[in-house]
Structure 1
Amino acid sequence: MFERFTRNARTAVITAQEEARQLRHHRIGEEHVLLGCLATPSVAERILTGAGADLTTVREVVRRDGPPDDDAEALRSLGIDLEEVRRRAEASFGPGALDRAPRRRRLFGRGLPGHVPFDRSGKKVLEDSLRVALSLRHNYIGTEHVLLAMLGHTEGRAVRVLREAGVTLDRATATDLVLAELRKSA
């Protein structure tokens, strides 16, 4: 599938990994892919900035929200309030008692941390970008297809991050903007 990605789309994916790494997130989610698209000069970046997205603001929302915590969701489904557990642990053992110990990271080459894997939402956005490209009869995957795939996940983290950052952009509007951008470049 990655052989179909344009140079800009590949750059956005690499930038998503860098964003996750900078935020100290252990997985690349769709919110990191959103940051990658916004940080890469491309069709998606033009559409996002035209809708009012600002890289610094979106990055801050992602940082503030933190990485998705599947464990917390699983505990909540069992009736366990993780915040209450955290509050009690910190009352007994001090602030940050349940914070993860820093993971030992393997270093490669110039001291850069290794590969950061995609989580389910990040993988799903990339898979759906192929579907979007095919539905538009394109034989490549660009950042515009990735953006439309993200906006198709109406309850996804990327859409929530955009909403929190004050950006209102729906898939129908974005599709019209993508088609207009593609006509300009043709």
Structure 2
Amino acid sequence: MVKDSARKKAIRERMAHTGKSYTDAAREMDQQAADRSQPQAVTFDWFSSQARHVVDLAREHARSRRHSALGTEHLLLGLLDDGAGGLAFEILDDLAGSVEAVESAIATAVPQGATRAPQEVPFSDHAAFVLAKGARRQADKTGHGYVGSEHILLALLSVHDCRACQILTSLGIAYNPVKTEVVVRLNAMGVLSRYHNPR
């Protein structure tokens, strides 16, 4: 009974974030859960050099915080570097009021680890899903032939039970407004998107 009510709550939250019907939100949530239950092979063939740099920075953050796995919160930290985060950095800075607000929320939600991190920090299940499938799906949805930092951000926001999404949601940052910002800003730079008029 508790599990059922928790599921209904999660579906309603997804509806609020995405604007989808109850049935579509439930189907999408079940599909993501099924996808995450499969081992994810992470490759970076479609990633821009900037997006790869975000992942490298995420590894450094996981190690420096002595965490045993690279999670979505570390990917979010990688996006907060203006040299790597690019468009995602600009959008987070604008929507959160400052990147410092996001960094502070991460520090509160994710304490420093107690033990030394392994030299090769593995991806958490959520982070592996975001990098192996989620970011590429976001690039496909917008019609872009590469994975950029903005697609990593959208992928983080589409996985509602991951730590990064929960942190961003607590700051009032949701998927649809970010998608709109991504498309509008890329269109302004001459990068055509599948959604030419997202508003």
TM (norm. structure 2) is: 0.65
Decide whether the 8 Å contact of 1:23 with 1:63 is kept in 2: no
Cα deviation code 1:97-117 (max 9, x no counterpart)? xx96x4595xxxxxxxx2211
Long gaps (5+) in structure 2: 1-42, 191-199
Decide whether the 8 Å contact of 1:27 with 1:117 is kept in 2: yes
Give the match's secondary structure for 1:3: coil
The partner residue of 1:22 within 51, 64, 71 is: 64
Decide whether the 8 Å contact of 2:168 with 2:174 is kept in 1: no
Give the match's secondary structure for 2:147: coil
Q: Check if 1:129 corresponds to 2:129.
A: no
Matches of 2:138 and 2:158, distance apart in 1: 9
Long gaps (5+) in structure 1: 68-98, 106-113
Structure number, greater radius of gyration: 1
Higher relative contact order (CA 8 A, sep 6+): 1
Decide whether the 8 Å contact of 1:150 with 1:159 is kept in 2: yes
Decide whether the 8 Å contact of 2:92 with 2:99 is kept in 1: no
Q: Which residue matches 2:122?
A: 117
Matches of 2:117 and 2:99, distance apart in 1: 30
Give the match's secondary structure for 2:45: helix
1:182 partner letter: L
Q: Aligned pair in 2 of structure 1 residues 41, 123: CA closer, same or farther (>3 Å)?
A: closer
The partner residue of 2:159 within 133, 153, 159 is: 153
Matches of 1:9 and 1:21, distance apart in 2: 19
2:88 partner letter: A
1:27 partner letter: A
Output aligned runs, 1:1-186, within 5 Å: 1-39=43-81, 40-52=84-96, 54-66=98-110, 102-103=115-116, 114-126=119-131, 127-164=133-170, 167-186=171-190
- Give identity over the alignment, percent: 31
Give the match's secondary structure for 2:129: helix
Cα deviation code 1:111-130 (max 9, x no counterpart)? xxx22111101111112101
Matches of 2:97 and 2:71, distance apart in 1: 18
Matches of 2:180 and 2:163, distance apart in 1: 23
Deviation at 1:134, TM superposition (A): 1.3
Cα deviation code 1:109-168 (max 9, x no counterpart)? xxxxx221111011111121011111222210001111111111123211222244xx21
Cα deviation code 1:8-65 (max 9, x no counterpart)? 1011111111111111111011111011111124010011001126444433433443
The size of the alignment, in residue pairs, is 144
Matches of 2:76 and 2:124, distance apart in 1: 14
CA RMSD of aligned residues (A): 2.2
